[in-house]
Amino acid sequence: MSGSKKISRRDLLKAATVAGIGGMTLGLSKVGEAASPKEKPPAQTKSKKKILGVDVIKVGGQGVISGAHADYGWQIQSGAILAIDEINAKGGILGSKLELKFMDEELKPAVAVKNARYLATDWGAHLLFGVDSSGSAMAVGPILPELDRICVFDHASTHRLTEELVYGKGIKQIFRIAAPVYQESNLAALIFKEFPNIKRWAGIHCDYEYGYSVWALFKDTLKKYRPDVEFVSIAWAPFWTMDFSSHISAVMAAKPDAIIATPWAGEGVMLLRQALMLGVFDNIQAWFQCMGGSVDILEGISREVAAGKFKDKLWATARYIHNYPDSPENNKFVASFRKRWNRFPNYSAENAYSTIYVFKAALEKSRSLKTPDLIKAMEGLKLMTPAGERFFRPEDHQAIYSVPGGRVVTDPNYPIPILGDLKVFPAQAYYRNPPFEALKMDK
């Protein structure tokens, strides 16, 4: 079959441009989409009887609810809805009920910014929370002063959000409830400095903000304790990588002792399955899957863990794990979540659930919906949450709490794998502390 000349290359390129524009308009059109079926007019019904002055406190959330990472958006929504229903059932916050609207940020900074604007100005959100992508967080953070809203970031984990935007630039409307990249980078370094035979490290990392910061911090911290380690190979994978085989075989060519990997959600599952296929676990001593302690990954690899295919070499952490700590708060949260949604909560679910309770604690302290009052109430706030006690450090608005890392194992008490052989470090041991020095992040 030889080429038909009916379609010229110019037509194709023109077509591709139009498709690009189409994609952008798609993004635009989604901004207006309502997550809840009943749309309420933005105008507030002022109530003199309520302490906060409103009948309904509007909470606008964002997460990714489509594609390979969609489970995170689902988990964020599920955690938030659970907390809101619990609070509303007990009469709300100072007599005002909570209402949620949740939007898809599509892992696109521009979409996240449009969503935040829509939620704050058109829909009338009093409080904002989200987002999943670090790129989206870095884009939403700077517009918060203009929107005059606080936003509690419950997933996006780049250290730059709190170190640069809050501590450096003084954007006080930003708070982060989730552990930042210190969790997977510095904690991993503390765990693996104790393995004298692991000297050659390789990385398979996300080709965006998140992957760059984890790899930079991990190398930096591990090198301090272990001058003898080498970082022998690295592969970068963008969003929507459908096949990691080339990345895996490229880093394995350098014969590393261990691999640290950041692809998350569905991509993390795909990466681990393809690593198994390539016989990686016969040839390395350890694999640290940064957010591998997240429920979606544990569910996705449960067959392989049960069959012992990872040979006890797979390690992971998360920004909360459902089997730690063994506290009344956590046990109650896991039980309620499972009853309501018939699944285990991942860290996004806990982070979102606790976000709503942080809003409650802050509002009860400030007794005001005004942003400066809320900021004052949030700074230095201490609250017991399922993940343990959280403390919002006033300098950078980062919540301080500790989550362990461990080996991915099966446990007869759980239908899915859990993290076992837990390595617990106090948060102070692995969080970066102010004053912050800018980190060199070479790709």
Residues that bind another protein (CB under 8 A): 1-7, 9, 11-12, 14-16, 18-19, 22, 26, 65-68, 70-71, 73-74, 207, 232-236, 238, 240, 242-243, 245-247, 249-255, 265-267, 269-270, 273-274, 277-279, 282-283, 296, 300, 303, 443
| Nearest distance, CB of residue 202 and another protein, angstroms | 9
Residue with tokens 């041991």: 429
| Burial track 37-72 (b if 16+ CB lie within 10 A, e otherwise) | eeeeeeeeeeeeebebebbbbbbbbbbbbeebbbbb
DSSP state, residue 282: G
Whichever of 340 and 376 has its CB closer to another protein, that residue is 340
DSSP state, residue 161: I
CA 283 to chain centre: 31
Whichever of 179 and 305 has its CB closer to another protein, that residue is 305
| Nearest distance, CB of residue 172 and another protein, angstroms | 34
Whichever of 68 and 128 has its CB closer to another protein, that residue is 68
Number of Cβ within a 10 Å radius of residue 254: 14
| Nearest distance, CB of residue 245 and another protein, angstroms | 5
| Nearest distance, CB of residue 125 and another protein, angstroms | 23
Whichever of 122 and 243 has its CB closer to another protein, that residue is 243
Within 8 A by CB and 6+ apart from 376, the residues are 366
Of 376, 386, 411, 271, nearest in space to 331 by CA: 386
CB 170 within 8 A of CB 147: no
Whichever of 282 and 326 has its CB closer to another protein, that residue is 282
Whichever of 124 and 211 has its CB closer to another protein, that residue is 211
| Nearest distance, CB of residue 120 and another protein, angstroms | 25
Whichever of 1 and 43 has its CB closer to another protein, that residue is 1
| Nearest distance, CB of residue 280 and another protein, angstroms | 8
Strands annotated E in 330-415: 382-385, 388-392, 399-400, 405-409
Whichever of 243 and 364 has its CB closer to another protein, that residue is 243
Distance CA(399)–CA(427), nearest Å, equals: 10
Within 8 A by CB and 6+ apart from 332, the residues are 386
Print the SS3 string covering 178-206: CCCCHHHHHHHHHHHCCCCCCCEEEEEEE
